[in-house]
Structures are given as C-alpha cells and as structure tokens.
Structure 1
Amino acid sequence: MKTFTYHRAVTLDDAVGRAAGGARYYAGGTNLLDLMKTGVENPDSLVDVGSLDLDSLHATESGGLHIGSGLSNSAVANDPLVRTSYPMLSQAILSGATTQIRNMATVGGNLMQRTRCPYFMDPELSVCNKRDPGSGCGAAKGVHREHAIFGAAPGRHTCIAVHPSDMAVALAALDAVVHVTGPAGSRSIPINDFFALPADQPQRDTTVAPGELITAVELPPSTFGERGWYLKVRDRHSYAFALVSVAAGLDIVDGVIRSAAVALGGVAAKPWRVPAAEAQLVGAAPGPEAFAAAARTAVAGAEPLSQNAFKVTLAHNSVIRALTRAAARA
C-alpha cells in the first residue's frame, strides 16, 4: 500500500476544504481500503468523515425520509420507518455483503463504491479501460459471465463491469435524491442521474464532482410500502454480487395497478430503471399476463456477449417473480 496522509475532519467545511486539495473521503472504508491494499487506488491523502454529524434518519415534512450518508447499512436496513414504509430498501441492503461489512459500510460509501470486475481489481492485468483509459476492456474478449447486458458503449464495449450495490437498485426504484456538498456549494442529484454509464469516460462511476461529499439521501413519500419487493439472484447466498436483481413496487387500487416501479441490478454500470415496463403495468390487473408483458419490455434492447446471454432470460424471469412477490405482500 502506498503511504498516505490522514486527517480526521471535525466539520463539514473542514472535510470539503481538505478534499478540494485532492484528498479522498473515508468513512467505513469497506471498498476503498481493499482497493488501496491491492494498488488499484493510490490516494495521497484521506479525510475521515466518520465523526461528522451525518447519521440522522427521520421523516421529512413531505412524508418522505431523510437518510444521513454516515449511517451504516445495517442501521438503515433495521430502522422501523424503512422496514414499514420502504421494505424493498431494507430487503436490498440485507441481501448485500455480510453482516460485518454492513455494520461498517455507510450509505454514502455504498453509493460511491467502484463499479468493478476482476479485470479492474487486478493491477497485474494491464488491459482495463476503467484503470487505464484506452488500454482496452479485458472482459469483452475474456471472461464476462457476470458482466453488463445494458448500457455499454455500442460496438466498443469500453467497460462492461456492473455496479455492485443492492441498495442503489432499491433507491432507483424509489426515486431517491442524493444530496452532496463540495467546494462549489451544495446540490441535489436525482438517483437516475447519479451514476454514469461508461461512454467515453469508463473511469468515471458517478456524476459526483471532485471534492463533493454525499451528505444525505432523501426518499419521497412511497406508494409501495405495502407492495414492494427486492429479489437478488446470485451464485451463492452470502457475500456474492447479483447476477440479476430486481426492485419492484406496485400500487394497486381496486384490483388495478395505479403505479409501478421496476429497476434491475447486475445488468449495467448503474441501476437499470425501465420506465416503459412500468408504464405498461399502469392500468393493468396484476397477474401473470401483465407481469410477463412488462418483463419482455424490461429486457428489450439487451446486448449480451457470448458468456452472459443467460442473463436476458434470467432478468425476464426475475422481473416476473419480483412483481408477483410484490403483488402478494399485502
């Protein structure tokens, strides 16, 4: 590991000021420290934000939820407000990593973890556009069973790694807004605009500017409290990224779907929200026919490679299963 300087921030302004000089933020460190140990990340300086007052979770005046970025994943998943009003978020968090990691990892760190694959994680492998833009994508012609089927740069596959966060998929379905503060002030980023697809800058995972720190995530009032579900399909039950995941929410009134949310994980460099599938569900009676039609729409346009084509069928079936579980919850 490269030698670095360490500073424990005492105020938000203190943290932002240090980061403006090129330092990296550190909270739980469950992803950053791993990458530093292997030499994938080599920051000169770390700013510890763990002591800042960023761990509040409370209802907002609008009926939504404010989640401080410094809260641990476990604290959010087990909070009564989250479990009752936003069950898919609790389910998503509890399906990720291990209990020990969830106890350390923070909300902000979860969102800022690197989109990654084995080619990115091993500095001995020289071909990785995310580590070394322009070097090529080792996975595109190598092992890519777990990689993206949506959102890669057409014809070039500059990066086909998938974002690993389960929490982010649920936040996408719930229309979360991410609040950040940086050298230029504060701003709010809708979750759908927070993550970046590879395009011409595969080294960028998010639209967060240098020096900006996530301070909170805000959820609007949800109509999916009674009928929300997070489904994660993976090779093993614990400590495995999703091959495919689905956050599904339904608002059903008098036997008709009034609103719906469908977001997929494990299929792109960002949570993959499918507005067309959601629109197809609105006005329909919940059931196999409507759910199958929405699933077909959800996987339309997928561009798998030779080893991950199974993900298209897996995603289709997972959407049906998640919607069926969501509809049956109440």
Structure 2
Amino acid sequence: MDSLAEVEVERTLKSTGQGEAGSGSVPVIDMNAADDLIAEGIMRAASEVGFFTLVNHGIDSAEIERAFGASMRFFAQPKEVKEAQAPWQRDKNSGYEHFAQVRPSTGLADQKESLQITAREGAMASGWPPLDGFEAAATALLARAHALALRVLSLIEPLACPHVPAGTLARAHTMWGANGQCTLRMIHYPPIDAPESVPAGHWRAGPHTDWCCVTLLFQRLGEAGLECAPNPRAQTATGCAAGGGGWLRVDPVPGGICVNIGDMLMRWSNQTLLSNLHRVRMPTADEAKRSRYSIAFFAQADKDALIQSDEHNMTAGEYILGRIRSNFAQ
C-alpha cells in the first residue's frame, strides 16, 4: 500500500490555508435538466472547483427539517447524556464525539460536536439515541441522500471513470450490509460565549478534504461559515491555490444541497476530479451567539469494493485504513 499522500496536502495548510474567503460562489446545478447537461455541469464543477450546489434534487424539505429537528433535540441534551446514549465506537465508526476531531492542517480539535451514523450491519446496534422519532428521521434522510448520491455518481461515471464497467460506482455503495461504509453525520457548532478566549489557530472545522467519493451537505439558511478552495494540486488548471485568494464562501442556497468530491473518487477517476479543501471558519461576534447545524452524508464505497486506478488497485477498506494511518502518523 502506498503512503496515501492526500493527508500531506492537509498538513501543508499549516502555512498556506489561512487566507480569507473572497466573494464568489460555487456552481449551482439544476437536477431537473437533461441528464447530459447535469453530467457536464457536475464534471465542470468537480474538475475545477470541486464543490457545487444541487437544486431540484428531489429530497423533500420537510424530510430534511425532520432530520434537523432530531439533531437539535439530541444536541440540546447534556454532554454526559449524549455520551451515554450514543457512545463513540471507533471500530464501528459510529457514535457521539465532542470537540475530538483533530485536523492535520491545524493539529487542533475542531470546535464542534457530532453524531456519526454508519449504515453498516451492527454499527448502530444499541447506538440510536432513544428520542421519539430520531431513528426514523435519520434513516429516512440517509436513504434519500444515498439515492441522490448514487444518481450523481451514475451520471458522471462515463465521463469521470470510463475505465470501469457501467454501474460500478453505484454498486460499490450499499446500505446496511456487512461491508457498508456510507455514513450520516449530524454536526453542531455550539455558541461561543467569549470568542476572544478561543486560542488562535482554531476553526469550527479546520481545512481538510473528505475521504469518501462524494459528500452531500445539508445546511440551514442563515447559518454561514462553510468555505472551499481549489485543491493545491489543481494550480495549473485553476490558476489559484489554497490561501492565495482562492477560498470561496459556500453559503446555504434555498432548496439547495452542497456537494463536494472526495479523495476516494479523485483516485478512482485518475485525478480527473478534484477533492478540494474546505473548512468552517470561526463565527463573527454576532454569529457566535447562535448555534450552527449541518448534516453531512458521506457516500463511501463498501470495504470490499475495488478502486481501480492508474496508480494501483486497492479496496475501499484498504484505502480508508491507509488514510487513518497516515492521518495519525507523526
């Protein structure tokens, strides 16, 4: 197995990832358009910026709001209650974490808490918060997000991964099987009573790339903070590197779902698509008085799915294990 140098990109951001986000926006793609136009739009966005927003995506807003309501009820509880209801289980990649995720780009913990729901057989056994309607709301959004992610992958597969048989990407992402790795992460960025007391260098989420194939991010209107930049490996294509003025705000769009390409699909596509850097900045003084919530769905290929690339073939399970080892290597 190679060293999986993706993590080194994050480490380089200790000196280059601090630039302020400028004006601009990521592409918006209408899922009601013809399939070939959707595919072309996604490929263009994923090859240049790596981030885009889907509208008319087919997921009902009421279903999204139910999931956010369940998330807010869970996070409103005391920390010790949340830890008891959904204890973190590293071997299952599921459960509750509080200010525990340390990014290679910062060496510091993200200023957030999260609940990870992994759609694998047994991963959530005895791990569902015992809140009325919680499991139903979460699994409903999981299913809808999974279906949308598969549509995105299927649309771009002929253009991004012409070396694989048709349907490979969709078949590689299953739900609730023995090798499943797709996950839903409910995220809460708590209010900060004294923003000036937070040491320099901290972020609500430090600059990073995602390990999956694609990420679908649900945001709430009025809760800004997400920013993205073209990946440093795309400087020749974009003329703009992280920290060099390339950061863009990715504010919530009415009815929109943010999508970004992950490292796994970048490898699968032989670097045709870019897994770009993104972060959640610290809040302004006014924003610090309020919580920020988001829900991310990570379309991550099954452990036994074979990622075929020019670099060399490996299973998705081997890939994730390599990323974990690289992430925590000294």
TM-score range, shorter chain: under 0.3
Structure scoring higher RCO (CA < 8 A, sep ≥ 6) equals 2
TM-score (norm 1): 0.26
Larger radius of gyration, structure 1 or 2? Answer: 1
TM-score normalised by structure 2 residue count? 0.26
